[in-house]
Structures are given as structure tokens and as C-alpha cells.
Amino acid sequence: MLDEFLILGLDFTVFLFMRESLIFIGISDDLALYYAIILTLILNAASFHEVRISEKFTKYVLELPNVINVNNEVYYFNIKIKSKGYLTITLNIAGFIVPLVLALVLSLRYFTLLKSLRLDYLMIFILLTLLATLIFNRLGMIFRHYVGISLVKSYIIGVLIGLIYGFELDVYASLSLTYVTLFIAIVLGVDILNMGKVVLEGRPRSVSIGGMGIADAIFVIPLLSSLTSYYVISFISNYLFTQLMIP
């Protein structure tokens, strides 16, 4: 029962984010509502599909610890084992390809709305993205066949980054640039920089980026963080505007 509520909650959050994003890129409120529903359904179906981008023959050299006892004397040494096999790298459509497209569209839309390139805005974006990449790389937890990350810690960090965008730049940056920054940071800091360790330690036959679909950190964390920070900044802006209008 709990899992069903979590899935429904995630779907509703995806719907809200898609609606706000569609409105941000210039689609009317009415059309954004219908398109958001359709996109949410499509994303659920796309979570089960992947695109293979690479398949290569890989050799591994493993060092395994070994202990022997000879006449009550213990000897420790490492044994080198050579292994080989095919490694397939795939991209999940909902877990990576769709977030990539969203990040490109949102970033292009935001910087297009500025009408002229603001170097100070660009520097803030670059610095926050680098900082987030380093933080998420430290938060990454390497398991046998995949890399994990704490959802709660990542969400809090993501919201803080979104609030910085909102206060330093504007409310639309808290939606668009927050999503772009967190997408880049998680893909680079968590997946790509740790992929070599996963391959060496777990020796999986396939590696999937965004493999959990809409439940993957690449999809969930940027979406939740950007949506939360956007609503918080919007509420604060509207509240301050209302207070200023009161005589």
C-alpha cells in the first residue's frame, strides 16, 4: 500500500513539474495541463525502455586477499586474477534521455529570456554546478553493481541550490537552472566519475545510466528540488509583493 502511494505521489510531482516547465517555455496554462498529463503517462512507460550506446570487450585484473596457515604460521598475500567479458552501456529513456532533453530546453529557454548574455549569471551557474558536482560525488555510495545516493541529503542540497538561484537571480532560475545544475551534477559526480569503480569492483555485464527510470536519482532529485525551490521563491515573492501593496 505504501509503495502505491509513493508511486502516485511521484507521478503527481512529475505532472506538476511538467506543467510548470511547459508554462515556462511558453505554452498556455490550459494546454500545459493536458500535455503534462500525457507526458507523465509517457514517462511511466518509457521507464522500462533503454537505448544501448556501447558494447565492448573488457579485461579485468583483480587482486583478491588470501591467507594460508603453514605450521601455525599465518601468511597474507594477494592473488591476481585476470578476467574478461563484454560490458554493455545503456541509457534509460525516462531516467536519462528525457532529463537531458529537459535540461537543454530549460537552460536554452532561460538564457533566451535574458535577451543578452549575463556573465554574472553564467558564472553563478558554473560555480554552483561545479560545487554540486563535488558534493554529490562525495555523497555517492558504491555498491556491487550500481552507485547509490541519499535521497534526503541530495534533496536538501538541491533545494538550497535552488533557493540560491532564486534569491541571487530570479524565480525562473530556481526552476530551470536548478534542474540543469542538479542533472549535470548527478550525472557527472555520481554516475560517470564512479562508473570505473563499479565496473572494476562489481564486474557487471551491463551498466545503465538512469536505469531506474522516473525513480532514478537523475530524474527525481532535480525534479523535486527545482519544483520545491520554485514554489518557495514564488510564495516569498508573492507575499512580499502583497505586503508592499498594502497601504
pLDDT-above-70 percentage for the chain: 79
Q: How does pLDDT run across 144-169, given as a tens digit for each residue?
A: 667 788 889 999 999 999 999 999 99
Q: Is 204 left (phi over 0), alpha (psi -120 to 50) or beta?
A: beta
Question: Helix 171-186 vs helix 2-24: angle between axes, to the nearest 10 degrees?
Answer: 120
Q: Where are the domains of the chain?
A: 2-245
- pLDDT single digits (tens) 180-222: 999 999 999 988 888 777 666 656 677 788 888 888 899 999 9
Answer yes or no: are the C-beta atoms of 79 and 64 closer than 8 Å.
yes
pLDDT, tens digit, for every residue of 82-133? Answer: 666 667 788 899 999 999 999 999 999 998 888 777 888 989 999 999 999 9
72 near 188, Cβ under 8 Å?
A: no
Report pLDDT for 90. Answer: 86
Q: Are 211 and 90 in contact (CB under 8 A)?
A: yes
Looking at residue 234, its pLDDT comes to 92
